[in-house]
Structures are given as C-alpha cells and as structure tokens.
Structure 1
C-alpha cells in the first residue's frame, strides 16, 4: 500500500506559503525511528501532516505539554468477538486511541462466506477509520464440522482484487498447511505477495519449518516464550495478544526486553465487549507492557509503527510529513488514556467519548439476519438424552477456568453428579438433523440451561444443561428460544427464560450500540452464574468447546471429536 504523492495545496502549506487547516502546538511528538520526543508543532492539511514546527493555521490546538503518538493500531482482531457491528465497534474503540485495525473476520466467513466480508468491506468505507480486512479462509475449520460456508482460493483472490483485502487470514488448521494439502497451499498462494496471517499454537521444529516454507509469515497464537522465541529467530512476525480468554503478552514481553521490537506487534484477537468496556483496547496492551518494565517508546512502536509496517498501512505509524494525521494526545505515559484522538486530521474523540455525529450508522442487509435454519418441530428434550450413560464410564470434555485448552477425561456418570453437564450442538443449517451430544465438566451448572449461537467453527447452536431434574427440558426451551430469536444467548431456569441477548446478524453480532449491548451481556452472564456456573466468562467458555482444530476433545454437530487423533469419540465408549 504505497503512499500517494501530496497535492500542490499541501506542498504550499509545507513550504509555509499558505495556512494549514490545523496546527497542533505545545506537545511532544514521538519519533519511532529515533525513539525521541520532539517538542514541535504539527501542521495538518487535508487530513495529512505536512510539516513540523510553527505554521500559520485556520485552527490552533494547544495540547499543553502532552505527548503526541501515532494512532494506535490493533494488529490482529476479530471484531465479531465484541458482538458489535462495525459502526458500533469503531464508536467503541476510537476513545481508546485506536484509529486502525487489521481484522480477520473468519467468523463472518464461517456464517456467510465471502458475502459477509464483502458487506463488511462496504460498510468500512463509510467510517472515519482505517479498517484493514483479511480475506479469511476459515469456514469449516475441521472435517468434522457439518455446517459452515466455504472460502477457497478463488474467493480469496477475488476479495483481494475487488475489495482491497490486505492478505490471507483465518488459517486456523495448521495441520493442513504443515502436511501440504492442496487447498491450504492454494489459499496461501492466492495472497500473491501480500501478508499471510497464521495461527499455529505449539508449532516448533520441523513442523514450524514446514509451516514457514508454505508461505505463512506470522503467528497470532504462540503459547509459550520458548515457542515464540523460535518463531522470532526464524524471522516470523509474532503478535502479542490480549483477548478475553487468550492472552500471552506477559509471557512474551521478555522477547521485547531482550531482543527489541522488530517483528513484534500487539493485537486484541478475541477481546469481548465486557473486557473492552472494563479494560480498554490497545491502550490496555500499552499499560500491561509498561507495567512489566517495557519502555513506553518500545510499547508505542508495537502499538502503531510495527503493525502499520506489517499490514502495509503505509500512511500510518509515523507523525512525519506525508503521513495521515492520526494522532493520540496522551497526558502521560503510564495509563495511556487519551485526552484527544484525531483521525485523518479530525477530532473524533475527547476525554473518553466519541464526538457526536463522528461515526455514521451502517445497517446490514436483511439477508444477514436470517441464518438459523433449524426445524423446531424436530427438537425436544429427547434430543439431548443419553439413556444408557448413567453409572458407566464415559468420555467427558474438561474445561478449565478461563482456559482455551480443554482436556479429555474419563469418569463414571452418576445421576446425582452435578459437576457433569449435558452438552449438545446443532448445525445451524442442518434443519435439526445433525445434533452432536457430549458431556462436559467445569461449567458448573447445578440447574437450568444456557445456550448460544456463538460457537467456534461454523457457529452452530450450542446448549448445555445441568444433570439435575428438568435439565434436558430446560435445554429444549433454550434451543427453541434461540431459533425464534434468530440467534444470540439464552439462560433458562426452572422452565423460564431468565435472560436473553439477541444477536440477529448471523446469530453472532448485535444491532445495538455498545452501551445497550453491554447491559444485556452483563445480565446474561449474571443469569448464567445464577444457575451455577463459576466461569468468569461463561458464554466465552461455552464458545471454546466447539473449536475442533484445538486439542483435546471438542464437540461438533457430528458428535464429540478427539482432535489429537482426528477421530470421533463416542462419550459412551471408554478407551
């Protein structure tokens, strides 16, 4: 993404022969190249910085000794995790200093295929924001998923050619790449020199060599420092992420302390709205880094300059003449809470709030609101029963507190054991024919049921019911409610719906703004805890159970899957 030459009008301002639109004075400007803070003014014309120093201008903004940083860039995000449509997402992150993101919308791909990415790209063009979109290849993340749309090499090439996709993402199945499967290699080749964002947790040694040789040049999912160090040594870009459940910043910051910032950047990945509201966005990554001993200058480079370089945002990442005037005004370098945020020379946020009328409303088309195609008449309490299970040794998915890794364990299943819950997943387009059944521990349900249509992979409908009297009846009530709502979250207790959240866009995204949606999400979390779950993020924990490319035991609409051995794992058959 090359920078366009400036206009004659801009050059006249640069030569001080004409006034700037805005002159930002009284601040200390960050130079990523030298890691210095320069006491100088910034002249802005037509949304671009055209000079340093004193300039005549139509408007003078005195920041009174504040620090001026390039706009923050989220190096890797899936906005679907916030459950906000793109306009509400931009409205929520601008006050935190984020003026650009690189989004891997693999969840939209899973539900809508390339049409979803096309719609997202069209909506992004209307917003005061740099919204880079990767052509996400993810659809059926596993051969054991029965539903989910497909994005192949041809579709990826079209997204890059016609919609400006900045590379290839959604490569969640590292095994297919390492084994050199034709479809995986074809998707990488479709990038045609653009970036390929990888997802290879645990890949080291010869497996990593094969992964890199296939053409992947980054990883967003390192699990340990040792793994990240090997990838870093081999020239791979490594993203230090801090989502809601998955976060490795603290683990990987020693890379920065020992080797510097080269090929390292921040990303929020799957940060949900509750975490965004409580902790912030990329500003939170900056706080964590500095609290752990990283120099503010190094942290800012990973929050702006480096992600701009990696993703080809050639107009961003510096405050030099010729660069877009995305500025974050920081009173200090400790909490990184902006007092003002400028995007392309326009003040878009002040004191933690987006300026009124800054973000125009965008609405998804009707076809994005009709995606749950399950025949309600075919679903009842009997759909979730395991009549032969009680008293015998069974396979159970074991979910840890706030962990993205789940284990396979064997235990006896007894009628009075409330530590085990029934688990079912229904293909969203299977008309009720595909229902995978399993058992799970760690959710802690002692009564009722919780259900949602945000389930990793193809985003099928997933429901968990307690092993108490009435549990399977509550599961059926929850499923019926979600089908009628068109997707979302539901909590049922004693045959009554006590909380619900409507997510009509593909069953994964709301049409509400952040404040309204946050209240509903918090109420649903509280309701889930009232039926016994002890998880900090109960629905996010539920979401982890269906990602059938991550070890060890997962659930899909075709049943329980041992991901390590790539075989179906009947919960009623012990090893």
Structure 2
C-alpha cells in the first residue's frame, strides 16, 4: 500500500498523554493512517516531508465565533484564517441572519471554503423580541426546524434572551430550546450568560444551556464549571488570574479557547492562534493550551473525526517551530499543504457572490438638524439617563446626569456627553431612538455604523450636530460600514456594502480601513480595550447593563425601557 504523504522525524503531539513524541505520521487520502516511531517498509509514500526539529499539532478548532465580526465573507475568511492554523470553525451566523434571515444563512452555507465551516443555529434573531428591537430577518420555530435538517448545522447558537429563558415559559427562545431538545437531543446548546450566578445560573442550566463564552472572573469560572457548565474563553477572559483558576483546579477538560469576535484589522495579526499564545503567556502550560484549542472543542461539538493525530482522524495539522510561541511554519488541511509561513493569503479566484439586493439594504432617511434638537418640558435643567461605558470590555452602567436646557431644548452639545441616535434601517417602522453616552468622545466629532449588535440598525454617536449629520450622510451614501467625522469632515471610512456588515474586499484592504477608523476614534478620545466592539455593542440589548436599540434605551436584565429624560415618557 502507498501513503499519499508521510511526515518523518517530527515531534508529534499526543493528545491523550499531552506530550510530544518523535514519530512518523502516514497519511492516506485525507486522513491519518498510521503514527509510529518505526519505519514501515511495506508502506511507501508518494511524498515525504522531513519535520526534524519541528512539532506536529492538530489543526486548531474555533467552536464559538462569528465570521461577520471579521466583516468578510466565509470564502475570504477561510483563506485568511487558515494562515493562522485554524482548520475547523463552528460559526454562529446570527449577524447575517439578523439582517437577511434564512436568505442570509443560505448565502453563507453555499459559499466555498477550504477550511471546514460548520454552523450553529442562530437562536437570537432577534436577540430579544421584535417589540424591543427591529431586525431585517427572523428565525422562529419553523426556521429552526428547517435548519436542524441541514448537514452543516451541528449546534444551537448562543441563547441570549435572559428574560425569555428565565421568566417566560412561552417565549420564543424557550420554544426553540424545546424543539432542539426534542428533535436533536444530543445537540450542544450554547449560552450567553454574563454576570449570572446562583439561582439565576441554575435556571439557565435547568433550561438545558450548558456552555458560556462571555466575560469571566475567577469566581464565575469556579461556580460555572463546578455547576456543570462548559466554558469557552475568548481574549478578554484569558487573564493570569483566570488561567490560575484553570491550572490550580485542573479544569482543562471543561473549557476551550475560542475567539468569539476578531475584527478585520486584528485578523491580519492573528486569530485563535493569538489566544492560544495569550493563554500560554498567562500561565497555562503549552500542551494544555493546545489540548484546549483542538481536542476539548472537538469533543464539545461531538466531532468523532478531528482534534488529534490518530488513525482515522482528518489529516488537519500544523508544523510549528516553537511550541511556546506557536510559531506556525506550515498548515495542512485534509493532508494537503495549504499555507507556508511567508506566503500571501490565497484569495478565491472569483469574488464571493451575494444577491444584488444585499448591496442596497440601508433603507432610512437622512437626518436633519431638527432631528437633533431634543425638546423637553423642563424650563432650566433636566435629569437625563446615561449609558456609561467602561475602558475594558463591553459592559455599561446606568447613571443619571443633569443637563442644561436652553429655550426648551437640551443643550447636549455642551454637556460633556455624547448623543447617540439609532435609526430603524429596514424600511419597516422608521423609528428613531435617542440616548446619551458618558466616557465616549472627549473631542468634537462623531462615529457612525450599521454594524450595530445584533439588529444592525443605523447608529450614530457624536458630540456635535454637524458631525452627526455628516457621518450619517456618508454612511447612507456608501450603504453601510463605519464612518468617523470631525469638524464636519470625514476622517475615516470602512465600507461594508453587503448588508451593511460585510465587505467583499481583500482582508488586507478591509483591515487597513478598519484600523484607520479605530485610530480616528482614538483621536476623538474613545478609550476602550476594543474601540470598535465597544461602540458596536452599545446597541446590544442582552449585554449588561443598559443599551439602546431603535426602540430606545433599556435595562438589559429587566428589559424595561428607560426614558431619555427622567420623569418624561419613553
């Protein structure tokens, strides 16, 4: 018999001992055939690669992520992320579903990719209810039943509607959970469980949700894992204090390293590989970090054919020069070399195709200066409700501030706060909502986007009316994306013409544009560990504690609307 490929003399990662052993690895077609320290005379090879001095590890597997967070198509995403050693992902495409519903999902499913892209059913389209946010698409019980029959669908995407899960037996998310548990009882159910503990955490677990990927602390890690929950660690949760809890309690079997969201500019520097390096630098042993980026994610998703270098498993693997640095020299997918260090990203020969109407999806009017004059009943000062942002993460706090009133209108341009406006963009209601934000922009200017978690309505925030108007006009002209303005002039743009959330440009071009937006935001005084994500999640009504949609500001936990001006109607 002939093997198609043999890798000789490499230090092969043994998943089950978590040690490296010098072995020869024989590959037949797209699978590992034999792993041995001996030469096999009657097993010849068509191609031999000498990996002396190198390490063989399984291809990395990211089981909780959103392709749309990289603002690119699945086909382009595949080629870009393969260069970082990721050979399998499980994508929750709830962003494209919130914009286009089932049509958006089908557009993703049919795009070609070299890496294996599996999908989780978007369980949160919308993330709350249609009464609290307007979306372009809707995934209900019937849509879930259709998706359960799709061969690429292997999990239920993050269930985010806390109120619906915990307090309402007949809510859409509870109906979805029942359908999935009935028709696919072994399917993993992913959760979005931020700042939830004790009895409320038990209610999530009782509903069948068994994983969480949100921001963790040492206390939440111990409580959730010992309570039976599988944890998925994204960048903001990979800290020395959190890794110490994992190491000291040997919690490796109950966790995986994931990305969740990687922006296009960050993608140029790294993907899941960057988070593995971060875990190692924060104190996790390198072998355990590799285990938690290959085998535990495979087991969590029920894969029986990947995550280890053993006979019968898919021949997805990396050759690396240094384990601690995860220095990737080559990437193999299905036994074929798909990337070598130093080579450029290979893009599809034909630009990824989307329906024509995906490029004309922003259906709202231009703002006027009159829209930005906010009339109040108070004659002097008014108390306004405010979203206070943090410099780390996406959480906000609800605070109140006093604002001057001039001639019956809020003098917000001189308040030290930023005005945020969310406009329904699907041509359904024409709703406009207003809010105020603290710790946002310290200079005069504005930031606007249609990449507004998860409903993706048009959102613009600024400290001057002229800049808000200029930013919104530019956003309409380019059919979505990100815009930064200052002194009435456009400072940076990142066009996302596909549904207002995706670009079909090469990732280098897209990443450069997004980096320019980020830098322009910083110049205006925006301070956060991830400026783009912080701004875009001001509209996410399931992320604590106060957020805004096209329906207005709301308390995330209670889902009660909050008036712009205290004492006046919402």
Q: TM-score, normalised by structure 2?
A: 0.91
2:408 aligns with none
Cα 1:483–1:31 shift into 2, 3 Å = same
The runs of 5 or more residues in structure 1 that have no matched partner are: 1-17
Farther off after superposition, 161-170 or 498-507:
161-170
Cα 1:284–1:451 shift into 2, 3 Å = same
Aligned partner of 2:432 among 431, 435, 454: 435
Aligned partner of 2:126 among 140, 159, 167: 140
For residue 249 of structure 1, report the CA deviation from its aligned partner: 4.8
The whole-number CA distance in structure 1 between the counterparts of 2:349 and 2:159 is: 31
Aligned partner of 1:185 among 168, 174, 178: 174
The whole-number CA distance in structure 2 between the counterparts of 1:441 and 1:111 is: 29
Aligned partner of 2:254 among 263, 288, 293: 263
2:16 aligns with 33
Aligned partner of 1:548 among 541, 548, 555: 541
The whole-number CA distance in structure 1 between the counterparts of 2:541 and 2:228 is: 29
Q: SS state of the match for residue 27, structure 1? A: strand
For residue 380 of structure 1, report the CA deviation from its aligned partner: 1.0
2:407 aligns with none
Q: SS state of the match for residue 499, structure 1? A: strand
The whole-number CA distance in structure 2 between the counterparts of 1:515 and 1:27 is: 33
Alignment check: 8 A CA contact 1:394 1:412 kept: yes
Cα 1:189–1:353 shift into 2, 3 Å = farther
Aligned partner of 1:383 among 371, 377, 381: 371
1:492 aligns with 485
The whole-number CA distance in structure 1 between the counterparts of 2:11 and 2:483 is: 50
The whole-number CA distance in structure 2 between the counterparts of 1:264 and 1:249 is: 14
For residue 196 of structure 1, report the CA deviation from its aligned partner: 0.8
Aligned partner of 1:331 among 318, 321, 332: 321
Cα 1:461–1:247 shift into 2, 3 Å = farther
How does 1:81-160 map onto structure 2 within 5 Å? 81-123=69-111, 126-143=112-129, 144-160=132-148
Alignment check: 8 A CA contact 1:127 1:360 kept: no
Q: SS state of the match for residue 144, structure 2? A: helix
The whole-number CA distance in structure 1 between the counterparts of 2:251 and 2:446 is: 48
Deviations 1:341-363 (A, max 9, x none): 10001111111545646887532
The whole-number CA distance in structure 2 between the counterparts of 1:428 and 1:108 is: 15
For residue 132 of structure 1, report the CA deviation from its aligned partner: 1.4
The whole-number CA distance in structure 2 between the counterparts of 1:537 and 1:240 is: 17
1:368 aligns with 358
The whole-number CA distance in structure 2 between the counterparts of 1:550 and 1:52 is: 47
For residue 403 of structure 1, report the CA deviation from its aligned partner: 2.7
Aligned partner of 2:513 among 510, 517, 520: 520
1:58 aligns with 46
The whole-number CA distance in structure 2 between the counterparts of 1:474 and 1:281 is: 34
The whole-number CA distance in structure 2 between the counterparts of 1:360 and 1:198 is: 36
The whole-number CA distance in structure 2 between the counterparts of 1:407 and 1:430 is: 31
Farther off after superposition, 84-93 or 63-72:
84-93
Cα 1:500–1:219 shift into 2, 3 Å = same
Deviations 1:232-287 (A, max 9, x none): 11222111111xxx434544323431224112101101221223334x12222221
For residue 456 of structure 1, report the CA deviation from its aligned partner: 1.1
Cα 1:231–1:368 shift into 2, 3 Å = same
Q: TM-score, normalised by structure 1?
A: 0.90
Aligned partner of 2:419 among 419, 422, 425: 422
The whole-number CA distance in structure 2 between the counterparts of 1:361 and 1:128 is: 15
The runs of 5 or more residues in structure 2 that have no matched partner are: 405-410
Alignment check: 8 A CA contact 2:361 2:500 kept: yes
1:13 aligns with none
User: Please, what is the CA RMSD of the aligned residues?
Assistant: 2.1
1:557 aligns with 550
Q: Is residue 210 of structure 2 the alignment partner of residue 217 of structure 1?
A: yes
Aligned partner of 1:397 among 387, 393, 398: 387
Q: How many equivalent pairs are there?
A: 546
Alignment check: 8 A CA contact 2:460 2:468 kept: yes
For residue 397 of structure 1, report the CA deviation from its aligned partner: 1.0
Cα 1:225–1:532 shift into 2, 3 Å = closer
Deviations 1:356-397 (A, max 9, x none): 468875322223222211133xx3121122243873221111
Aligned partner of 2:522 among 517, 523, 529: 529
The whole-number CA distance in structure 2 between the counterparts of 1:497 and 1:87 is: 31
2:396 aligns with 406
The whole-number CA distance in structure 1 between the counterparts of 2:443 and 2:281 is: 39
After TM superposition, where is structure 1 displaced by more than 6 Å over at least 4 residues in a row? 357-360
The whole-number CA distance in structure 2 between the counterparts of 1:360 and 1:170 is: 32
Alignment check: 8 A CA contact 2:239 2:282 kept: no
How does 1:445-460 map onto structure 2 within 5 Å? 445-460=442-457
The whole-number CA distance in structure 1 between the counterparts of 2:351 and 2:426 is: 30
Alignment check: 8 A CA contact 1:31 1:37 kept: yes
Q: SS state of the match for residue 393, structure 1? A: strand
Alignment check: 8 A CA contact 2:79 2:346 kept: no
1:342 aligns with 332
Farther off after superposition, 388-397 or 26-35:
388-397
For residue 168 of structure 1, report the CA deviation from its aligned partner: 0.9
Q: SS state of the match for residue 314, structure 1? A: coil
2:310 aligns with 320
For residue 154 of structure 1, report the CA deviation from its aligned partner: 1.8
The whole-number CA distance in structure 2 between the counterparts of 1:34 and 1:223 is: 28
1:7 aligns with none
Alignment check: 8 A CA contact 1:118 1:163 kept: no
